Structure 1
Amino acid sequence: MSAATLPDDQRLIEISPKAYEHPADRAATAALHSIPMLDTVVRKLIEYGGERALRQELLGNYVRLGDAQLPEVWASHRAALARLDIQEVPELYLGQGPFINASAIGSQRPIVLLQSSTVSTLDDLELRTVLGHEAGHILSDHVLYSTALAILTAFGARALMRLPFFAGLPLLAVQLALLEWYRAAELTCDRAATLVNRSPMTTCQTLMVLAGGTASRRLSLDAFVAQAAEYVELEPGWDKFSRFRSELLQTHQYPVRRVSEIQKWVRSGDYDRIMSGEYRKRSEPVDPREEAGSASEFYAERFRGIFREFGEGVSKVGDKAGDAADKLAGWLRRE
């Protein structure tokens, strides 16, 4: 099923990710773009640092799904993409993993990865929710930065820094900045998932299963929603600082906070407006000033601070990335 074959009343035709983008994602992305030469580092890291290796790992160690391999999961994947009116269908892989998780990577041709526990634990609509979340990453073009983050996570920033062609690059700082951005991007994709499943409480239910690792039929969604409210309401000074420290190296916001964010979005009326057909289209121009907003400076200073902590000014990072690329290219030619 492609986007073209899904009935029009089930598609959000030409919907722009800006229609449902979380303000934190908008601000963090604008801040990343404001850091001189950071995109150069990210693109060189992907070009020479392992996207091809990641693809080979998938082909050799994962199961590629399709019409002849878990066709019901493949159909759900295509339907999630079609709901967001995404024409291209990325490859879908299944790997063995004890944690309920999924990801979208690949800066050239995005691919979606599912861990086996995701398929075995979630019910059909919850799985559609996860696939809708990953479709949101693709539509928002998060895959450039998320692929760089996946490479840094898979190979280790410290390990890559020991290679001669990456020596001197502040990859730990890059990783921390990308983690900060990714946590914000996840909130946007929870909204995309909700537009796919058309059930905000199903999104909350799926987050409950992600948190508990147990099938939803054995859990109480009402109790989990109440837990989310308790977590958000109780933020005294020390607890807030403790949460900041614990989230620093996390790729995702805590599930209870994500539940709270979805509920706030629905209460704002934006979800209902989109479902009624009132939303921004991809063809509509984007105002750079609107995209940046006042909150982007908050993230920009956070990112600059991360680089300063590692003793590196961000303006010098691009030159070092170029040198690293030349060194690695020469090594590959010799090999």
Structure 2
Amino acid sequence: MITMGFLDDAKNLGKSVKDQVGVKVEEKMDAKNDDATPVVPVIRIENAHDFCHNSDKQALEALQKVPLIDTVMKKMDKYWSSHMLKMNNLASNIKLGPNQLPEIYNLLPPICDYFGIEEPDFYITLDPNPNAFAQGVDQFSITVTSGLLEMCSAEELTPVIAHEVGHIVCNHMMYHQMGLYIASVGASLGGASQLALAGLESAYNYWSRCSEFSADRAAALYLKDAAPVVNMMVKLSGGSKVFGEINVQEYFNQAVEYERLKTAEVRSKVAHYAETLMTDHPLNAVRAFEIEKWCQTDEFKQLIAKGNLKTEVVREHIFCTDCGAKNVNESKFCSGCGKNLEVA
């Protein structure tokens, strides 16, 4: 299990610096976005917590308590533009559909049907690195890289696509976009103002790593098996050429040894902290071992027995567009002015 100890340090760092430079950060954010786009709602998926990893839930709770998060979330909720993201994808990438690479596109609809969500836009982008990612706050998209397509067959892409759908289903998208927003804003700041965001960024990166475990579970649930997810981790670690010769049990043993070493002594803990501080994905071997263990539990078997994991989609605002109050309890109505926060 990944330790959550450094979240306290991250929160304390953010708190101490906020007292000194928090106002400067807010001013710079305002200056950066004076002519930005209108407020847009986000989509929240209900009934998705049945399979979310506990570390995902706990890390998200800790992230939500970090100083400055309300400021960052409010700015992002006000200025994020899915319209601009879609325009960029349409102009630069290849959009998949029934008449565009249908062998790959046809992997997506049954996954979305299984979880009961609308299909996100589906793109391929030119990038030699094997990767895939989901984007959006009120409109979602999934993008796979050309490097991933060169490494995998169409069938092998299924766990990858299901994993990205899992991020949507598990309500990760708003916070993943927040991570991009932090990086964008942080790059324009300097000195103490940049340091003020360090605690928030550290907590975000930890939660982001934990969120990958939940998305892996979504893929395993759709496929009713850990093996395709594990095989993808192996390929991402060693490539296609030696894939058929890899001893998967030895690969799992790497994760066991890693977990032992990272807590064996103080210098190992420091090394682990330094290694993962600014990393937003857990190590592949650790993810593979984690999903293998979970798929042997009664929890996994009971979820499989349910069949399709239908969810309920709600469109809402995180901050009230009339009075600016935060929607703390995910209520349908604003606690400040009573405005209906759900969007038809």
TM-score w.r.t. length of structure 2: 0.68
CA shift digits 1:123-180 (9 cap, x unpaired): 3343100111111111111110111213444x4x432326xxxx78944443322212
Indicate the residue corresponding to 1:226 in structure 2: 253
1:158 equivalent to 2:189? Answer: no
What is the alpha-carbon distance in structure 2 between the residues aligned to residue 174 and residue 131 of structure 1?
Answer: 29
Question: 1 or 2 for the larger relative contact order (CA 8 Å, sep ≥6)?
Answer: 1
Structure 2 counterparts to residues 229-240 of structure 1, below 5 A: 229-235=256-262, 236-237=264-265, 238-240=267-269
The answer on 1:253 being equivalent to 2:257 is no
Deviation of the 1:52 alpha carbon? 4.9
Q: Distance in 1 between matches of 2:80 and 2:102?
A: 33
Match of 2:225 in 1: 199
Query: What letter matches 1:16 in structure 2?
Result: N
8 Å CA contact 1:273–1:279 kept in 2: the answer is no
Alpha-carbon spacing, 1:59–1:174, altered in 2? closer, same or farther (3 Å) = farther
User: Matched residue of 1:262: which SS?
Assistant: helix
Aligned ranges 1:87-102 → 2 under 5 Å: 88-102=118-132
Alignment of 1:9-48 (within 5 A): 16-35=47-66, 38-45=69-76, 47-48=78-79
Matched letter for residue 198 of structure 1? K
Distance in 2 of aligned mates of 1:60 and 1:276: 43
**Is residue 15–residue 280 contact of structure 1 (8 Å, CA) maintained in 2?**
no
Does the 8 A contact of 1:80 with 1:196 survive in 2?
yes
- CA RMSD between the two structures: 2.9
Shift of 1:15: 9.0
The answer on 1:104 being equivalent to 2:134 is yes
Cα offset for 1:117? 1.4
Q: Does 2:271 align with 1:242?
A: yes
Q: Give the 3 Å change call, closer, same or farther, for CA 171–276 of structure 1 in structure 2.
A: same
1:52–1:182 Cα change, 3 Å: same
Q: Which AA in structure 2 matches 1:100?
A: P
Q: Secondary structure at the match of 1:17?
A: coil
Q: Higher helix proportion, which one?
A: 1
Match of 1:6 in 2: none
- The verdict on how the C-alpha distance between 1:278 and 1:119 changes in structure 2, with shifts beyond 3 A counting, is closer
State the one-letter code of the partner of 1:229.
V
Partner of 1:7: none
Distance in 2, Cα, partners of 1:120 & 1:242? 34
SS at match of 1:225: helix
Summarize the alignment of residues 59-98 of structure 1 with structure 2, pairs less than 5 Å apart. Answer: 59-86=90-117, 88-98=118-128
1:130 maps to what in 2?
A: 160
- Residue by residue over 1:220-243, the C-alpha shift from the partner in whole angstroms, topping out at 9 and shown as x without a partner, is 434323333332344412323312
Q: CA deviation at 1:45?
A: 2.9
> Distance between the aligned counterparts of 2:240 and 2:99, measured in 1?
28
Taking the aligned partners of 2:177 and 2:75, their CA distance within structure 1 comes to 12
The alignment of Structure 1 onto Structure 2 pairs a total of residues equal to: 264
Q: How much identity, in percent, do the aligned residues show? A: 26
Looking at structure 2, the residues matched to 120 and 141 of structure 1 have their Cα atoms a distance apart, in angstroms, of 30
Q: Given that residues 232 and 260 in structure 1 are in contact (C-alpha distance below 8 angstroms), is that contact kept between their aligned partners in structure 2?
A: no
- Kept in 2, the 8 Å contact 1:95–1:113? The answer is yes
Matches of 1:225 and 1:168 in 2, distance apart?
A: 39
CA distance 1:200–1:99, change in 2 (3 Å): same
Change (3 A) 1:121 1:46: farther
Bigger mean CA deviation after superposition, 121-130 or 36-45: 36-45
Deviations along 1:261-309, one digit per CA (max 9) or x if unpaired, are: 11221233211111122999757xxxxxxxxxxxxxxxxxxxxxxxxxx
Q: Distance in 2 between matches of 1:168 and 1:259?
A: 35
Q: Structure 2, unaligned stretches of length 5 or more? A: 1-44, 313-325, 327-344
Residues 159 and 181 (structure 1 numbering): CA distance in 2 closer, same or farther, change over 3 Å?
Answer: same
Structure 1's 168 and 50: CA in aligned 2 closer, same or farther, altered over 3 A?
A: farther
1:263 partnered with 2:292 = yes
Give how far 1:111 is off: 1.0
What does the per-residue CA deviation read over 1:26-73, in whole Å, with 9 as the maximum and x for residues that have no partner? 111122333466244124135436655443332222111111221111
Report the Cα distance in structure 2 between the residues aligned to 1:57 and 1:128, rounded to whole angstroms. 25
Matched, 1:212 2:242: no
Distance in 1, matches of 2:239 and 2:224, equals: 23
